Structure 1
Amino acid sequence: MIDQGRRGLQAKLALFGGLLLAAVTATPACAQPSAVPVSVAKAVQQDVPIWLRGLGTVQPNYGVQLRPRVDGTLTQVPIAEGQDVKKGDLLAVIDPRPYQAMLDTAMAKKQQDQAQLANAQADFARYASLVKQDFASHQQLDTQQAMVKQFTASILGDEAQIESAQLNLSFCYITAPFAGRIGLRNVDPGSVVHSGEMTPLISVMQVQPIALTFTLPQDTLPAITKAMGKHPLEVVAYASDDKTELDRGTLLTIDNMIDVSTGTIKVKATFPNASHSLWPGQFVRARLLIGTDAQVVTVPSVAVQHGPDGLYVYQIGPDKTVSVQPVTVTREEDDVSVISRGLAAGAVVVVAGQSRLQAGSKVAIREDASSPVKSGS
């Protein structure tokens, strides 16, 4: 039994040795490393816009909360919620009858005082004639002259009462102060309203054109003011995803003070808003175009790598061998990096597959992914 076990062990050792010898024999003396598949792009020379980005809120160009200025019953609201109105369109009516009666009373009082003034003037003329003939005293003449002045002043007071009554009567008819869009109605017809109420009857917002205020770092203020002195500056509004363009407008003005708590400056732009893509209170991302870098060398931002000694790219030589090329990046615009030093236009750089590369590595270019650099938007 012992001899049989020894013979079995010897057979296993012989088999293992044969397999090991076959593996060593099958290994080539000098294995050639395979080329690393990569995606590439060319460094191109092009114009790159200079955008300043900020967060902002859409505001109506004009916006009012219409409240009653006289007491009374709201009798009519002849417009629909969400309706577009023009300047001067009738929006609401408060019962005008009490104020029409006050106007009629003031006008009647003026007519009465005018009649008394005419009589006083006639008496004054008669007394003036009698005084010349010594048939009346100067005291009577002076008294009559005072009556003329009294009724003249009464008429002036009547005219003021008439103007006040006309003004109150006009307040019964609430009209649109400018062209805009009606909001939701807060008070229904039939309700009794009072002047000075906090709750508005209705709101009107001008949404065409519309305004946008957004903030930018205070360090950008010199560049903005310099660019504004040359030409109007374009502003583009994007949705919260920073990809969907909503509208294009023009920078209107810069605020007169920097926010000391945040170190930012507030700017305001105006937009035509022809498609109603901007709405009051909407949160948007804004981009302000202040200039263009002309004919600079650019590469896709994914090509730029961060190393212990700074930024670099993997540049591909004519023999499909990569080299580590240090570069200086001036700025990034969307997915494009502006290179000020280290690369020339036409250089081929790796944009995907860098994790398996080192200086001197051979590469295989994936033709379907190779494309030139696109301009920043």
Structure 2
Amino acid sequence: MKRTTLLGIAVLLVAAVAALAWTLAPRLAASGASATAASAPGAGPAVTVTTVAARREDFALELGATGTVSALNRVEIHPQVSAAITRVHIREGQTVQAGQPLFTLDSRAAEVRVTQAQAQLQKDLATLADAERQLARSRDLLRQDFVSQSAVDTNLSQVEAQAAVVAADRAAIQAARVDLGYARIVAPSTGRVGAIAVYAGSYVTPASPALATVTQLDPIAVSFPVPQRHIGALLASLKSGSGRVTAQLPDARGTLTGTLQFVDSAVDANAGTVQVKAQFANPKQQLWPGAYVDVKLAVGSLPGAILVPQAAIIQGAQAKSVYVVGADGKAQLRTVDVVASAGDVAVVTGVQAAERVIVDGKQNLRPGSPVVEQAAAPSGAASRPGRRAAAASGPQP
């Protein structure tokens, strides 16, 4: 009886184990398949990424620098004579034209000197006329043998001496008129008047501080340093007149385009740069002397360059790389060299034109990962033509 009971219990246990194995077999098979798939390289769920097609186009190289705005012409107004100011014709900040009156000085003393010089001239002219008559009379008497030749020579010397006195009188009149002209101070050039340091009634001398300054604002210049390795390109641009310089206005108010005007004759040995100057039309006075401004100077181009967004570049410990989407729809890691860059675009080697470069989502990738592509916004860097390289990121040596 006991044996029969034990045999029945054993049969029931075997049946229960078989039923349990039958139930768990599909789950164990699925779990094994998942583990096998997970161990395969590059497998896993597809990663959503944003891509931009690499473009081939000419890439203009530009040197970027911070320049200093300076006036082409800045004149300090000083009096040439000592006198009191009788009238101020201008106000601070006013724009004046060349020849426009600025100050009037007390000219009464100068007018008196002119009158005195003219009176002295008339007196000496009368004396000269008398000497000439004496010379003519002595010559008549010489022909009649009433006087000697020495008497005639004496009269001739008197005439010549008096003629020199008359010439000196005329020069004195001119000098007096020049002094009189100094009483009227006019603008030497077109420009903007700075602070005025005097008022009507102020007594000024040539040694006094400047009465005012007149600064030319249109056109205006921007000076900035350029690395010495670009001197050849600078001189070529200066000679051909093709040097175009772009200045970024403050507060992102746009840009102004000027021309290269000057390359300095010496290199700064400490900085390894040469100073250059560009000239800009400034009718709206958007550039102000003494201000700093970011400038870019075109120095060449890279024809047929491959452009990708800088956001796509991965900086590794040894090299730079980008992810591209292969023909099989999986991510491929490419090592690249950055030749030049500007803003959000870079010129690289190692990528072909039209290859789809992954910009966003690359942090979730590994080589061989399947991807689901989304096109980047139209403002993507590689989709915009005509991008230019900044100075600090020009062609790598």
Q: TM-score, normalised by structure 1?
A: 0.87
Q: Tell me whether 1:209 sits opposite 2:234 in the alignment.
A: no
Instruction: Show CA shifts across 1:82-119 (max 9, x none).
Output: 12221111111111111111111111111110000000
Of residues 232-241 and 267-276 in structure 1, the stretch that sits farther from structure 2 once superposed is 232-241
Structure 2: how far apart are the matches of 1:228 and 1:184?
A: 36
- Corresponding residue for residue 49 of structure 2: 38
Contact preservation (8 Å) 1:237, 1:247:
yes
CA distance in 2, matches of 1:229, 1:71: 48
**Which protein shows a greater Rg?**
2
Change in CA separation of 1:97 and 1:221 when aligned onto 2, cut-off 3 Å? same
1:297: Cα distance to partner?
A: 1.2
Contact 2:49 2:359 in 1 (8 A): yes
Contact kept, 8 Å, 1:40 with 1:349, in 2: the verdict is yes
Quick check: 1:50 aligned with 2:55? no
Q: Deviations over 1:172-215 (max 9, x none)?
A: 11111121121121111110000132x11111111111111111
1:12 alignment partner in structure 2: none
Secondary structure of the equivalent of 1:359?
coil
* Stretch moving more, 281-290 or 304-313: 304-313
SS of the aligned residue for 1:273 comes to: coil
2:313 to 304, 308, 320: 304
SS at match of 1:208: coil
Q: Judge conservation of contact 1:127–1:141 (CA < 8 Å) in 2.
A: yes
In the TM superposition, what is the alpha-carbon distance from 1:369 to its structure 2 partner?
4.8
Separation in structure 2 between the aligned mates of residue 245 and residue 80 of structure 1, nearest angstrom:
31
Distance 1:285 1:272 in 2: 16
Q: Assess, with a 3 A threshold, how the Cα gap between structure 1 residues 218 and 244 changes in structure 2: closer, same or farther.
A: farther
Determine which of 248, 254, 266 is the counterpart of 1:257: 266
Per-residue deviation, 1:354: 2.6
Contact in 2 for aligned 1:227/1:291 (Cα 8 Å): no
Work out whether 1:359 is the aligned partner of 2:367: yes
SS at match of 1:289: strand
Match of 2:232 among 188, 201, 222: 222
Look up the match of 1:346.
Answer: 354
Deviation at 1:321, TM superposition (A): 1.6
Matched, 1:137 2:133: no
Aligned length: 351
Q: Which residue of 2 aligns with 1:88?
A: 99
Query: What is the aligned-residue identity percentage?
Result: 32
Asked if the contact 1:92/1:175 (under 8 Å) is kept, the reply is yes
Report what 2:288 is aligned to: 279
Shift of the alpha carbon at 1:220?
Answer: 1.0
Do the aligned partners of residues 231 and 147 (structure 1) sit closer, same or farther apart at CA in structure 2, a change above 3 Å counting? Answer: closer
AA in 2 matched with 1:268 = K
Q: How does 1:128-277 map to 2 (within 5 A)?
A: 128-197=139-208, 199-239=209-249, 244-277=253-286
| Aligned-partner Cα distance in 2 for 1:229–1:131 | 75
Amino acid at match of 1:88: G
Question: What letter is aligned with 2:216?
Answer: Q
Is the 2:52–2:376 Cα contact (8 Å) retained in structure 1? Answer: no
Q: Secondary structure at the match of 1:327?
A: strand
Q: Whole-Å Cα distance in 2 between the matches of residues 147 and 361 of structure 1?
A: 116
8 A contact 1:296–1:338 mirrored in 2? yes
Q: Quickly say closer, same or farther: Cα 1:280–1:367, change in 2 above 3 A.
A: same
Which ranges in structure 2 are unaligned for 5 or more consecutive residues?
1-23, 39-43, 389-397
369 and 246 in structure 1: CA distance in 2 versus 1, 3 angstrom threshold: closer
**Aligned twin of 1:108:** 119
Query: Aligned residue for 2:78?
Result: 67
Contact between 2:248 and 2:254, CA under 8 Å: does it hold in 1?
A: yes
Change (3 A) 1:58 1:183: same
- 8 Å contact from structure 1 (residues 246, 277) kept in 2: no
User: Which residue number in structure 1 is paired with residue 340 of structure 2?
Assistant: 331
The offset of 1:368, in angstroms, is 5.9
| Counterpart Cα distance in 1 of 2:196 and 2:238 | 42
Aligned to 2:300: 291
